[in-house]
A and B are shown apart, each in its own frame.
Chain A
C-alpha cells in the first residue's frame, strides 16, 4: 500500500455521534454504543506535534500525559476558524475530543516530545525521592531514574535510526531494551501497590514511566514493520495491565494511599485510560495488517500531515 492510500477521514465527522452517545470513545477507539462494535480509531497528526513541541504543556507525573492543550493560542485560533463553519457547540466537542486523545499512544508523538516527557518525569522523580525519607526497598532496587536514562537512550537511538545505515539492527536493539525496561517497571509496580502504605507520587511516576515505555516499544516495532509482533506485544502489555489492575482496585488503593480517596480515584482513572490506550494499540496493529499498511509508512504519514490535528481511521470487516 502506498503512503497516499491510507483511508483516513476527518475526525470532526464523528462529533455528532459522540455528542449524542451513539458513539463512545475508549482510548483512541470509537465504538458504536448500540452494537458494541469498533467504528474506527482516532489518530493525532503532525499538526499536534508541531504545536506541542513549541508550547508543550503536560503533567509530568500524569500517566496519560498532556494537559491544557486547548488553552494553547494556536489551537484557539484554529478552533475560532472552525467555529465559523461548525458552530460553537461542535467546536467545544472537538476541543474536548482533541484534549482527551492528544498524546495517545506514541504512534504520532515525535521522539522529541517523548524525550521531553522523560526529562520532566526524571525531574519530578528527583523531587519525590528528596521528599520521601524512607523509600520502599523495592524502589531502591528498581532504580527508576537510572532506568529512565536507559529508556531515554533507547528513544534517542530510535530518533536517529532513519539516518543510520544499520537502522534495523539499531531498532531491534532499542525494541529489546524497551521491552526489558517495561517489564522491570511493571514488576516494580506490582510489588509496590500491594504494600500496606503506598505513596501516590511514586505510584503515578511509575505508571507514567510504564505508559511511556510501552508506547515507545510499540512505536519501535511499527518502525521495524513488525506489525504482528506489535499486535502481540500490545496484547502482552494489556495482560500485564490487567494483572496490575487486579492487584489495586480503587477501594483497596484508597486504603493504602496516604493521600486518600480522591487521589485513588484519579489514579484509577489514569490506569483505566492506560488500559484503553494499550487495548487500542492492538486494534491499530491489526488494522495495519489488514490494510497491508507498513508501520513506518503509517508513522511517517501521520507525522507529515499538517492540516488536520485529528484523523479518523474507519474500521471495517477483518477476516477472522
Chain B
C-alpha cells in the first residue's frame, strides 16, 4: 500500500489514486504548489488553532495565579504575626506600610512575568500556526501592542497598581465578641483596654484570635485583588486584567483572519 505514486494504483472503477510519473513525494509536490499562494480554507483551521491557544493560556494563567497565591498569603500572615498589638489601633496605617507593599510587589512582579510568558507564547503560536498571510495586519505586532488595540471593545483595563485593596477588610474584622454596630476604631480601642486588664493566658489567646480574624480578612481581600470574584466579573483583579488582555489579543487575531 505504501507504494510510490509513480506506480499509480487503481482500486476499483470508481476511484483512481493520484497518478504521476515524478519520483517526488506527493507531500513535497503539494507543499510546493501551496507555497505559491494562500490556500483558502486555512483561515478557519488557523482560527481553531488560535482558540486552542487562547483556552490553554487562559487556563495556565488561572492555574498558575492560584498556585502562587498561597505564597503571598503566607507573607501577609507573617507580617500580621509580627504585628505589635498596639498597631491594631491604627490597622489602616499598618496595612499601608506593611501589607500593601507586599501585595503591590506580588501584583507587579506577576503581571510582568505573565506578560512576558504570554508574549513568548504568542510569538510561538504565530510561528506554529504560520499566521503569515499578507492581509494579516497584526503580523508584526507584539502581544503588548495587541492587548491594547481595541481594548475598549472588551473592558477597560486598569493599571495593576490601581487595583483596589483593603477596602473592606479593616472595618470587617471586629474584635471577638464586639457588637457588630460599634465602629472599628472604637472596638480596637476597647479591645486594648480589655487586653491590658486581662491575665497573660487570656491575653495571648485573645491576641491570637484577633490576629486570626485580621489574617482571614486580609487573605480575603488579597485573594479578591489577585483572582477576582467568579460570580462578579466587575471586581478588578490581576487575573481579570491578564485575561482581558489575553482576550483582546485573541479577538484581534481572530478578526484579522475573518
Contacts and interface: CB of A to CB of B under 8 A. Distances in A.
B21 interface: no
Interface in B1-42: 1-3, 5, 9, 11-19, 25-27, 29-31, 33-42
Interface string B46-59: 11110110111011
Interface residues of A, number: 71
Interface in A266-320: 268, 272, 275-276, 278-280, 282-287, 300-301, 304-308, 311, 314-320
Contact of A249 (B1, B34, B58, B231): B58
A282 B44 contact: yes
Nearest to A268: B55
A37 B34 contact: yes
Given A10-B1, A317-B36, A320-B40, A3 B45 contact: no
Contact of B132 (A4, A36, A251): A36
Interface in A220-261: 234-235, 238, 242, 245-246, 249-252, 255
A12 B14 CA distance: 19
B110 interface: no
Interface stretch (A21-29, A61-69, A121-129, A183-191): A21-29
Interface stretch (B70-78, B100-108, B123-131): B123-131
Contact of A283 (B11, B41, B62, B63): B41
Given A249-B54, A319-B37, A279 B45 contact: yes
Given A12-B1, A31-B45, A86-B1, A315 B40 contact: no
B34 A272 contact: no
Given A10-B1, A13-B26, A38 B17 contact: no
A305 B1 contact: no
Contacts, number: 180
B159 interface: no
Given A9-B18, A316-B30, A37 B48 contact: no
Contacts of A316: 30, 33-34
Contact of A304 (B14, B35, B41, B47): B14
B27 A251 contact: no
A39 interface: yes
A37 B9 contact: no
A4 B41 contact: no
B5 to A, nearest CB: 7
B15 A37 contact: no
19 contacts: A4-B14, A7-B18, A10-B17, A12-B2, A26-B48, A27-B48, A32-B31, A36-B130, A38-B34, A39-B31, A82-B1, A242-B51, A249-B54, A251-B59, A275-B51, A279-B44, A283-B42, A283-B45, A285-B41
Given A39-B30, A272-B48, 12 more contacts: A15-B2, A32-B27, A32-B34, A36-B42, A234-B44, A245-B51, A249-B59, A272-B55, A279-B45, A279-B47, A305-B12, A307-B11
* Shortest Cβ-Cβ A-B pairs, 8 listed: A36-B130, A283-B41, A279-B44, A37-B34, A251-B62, A9-B18, A316-B33, A275-B48
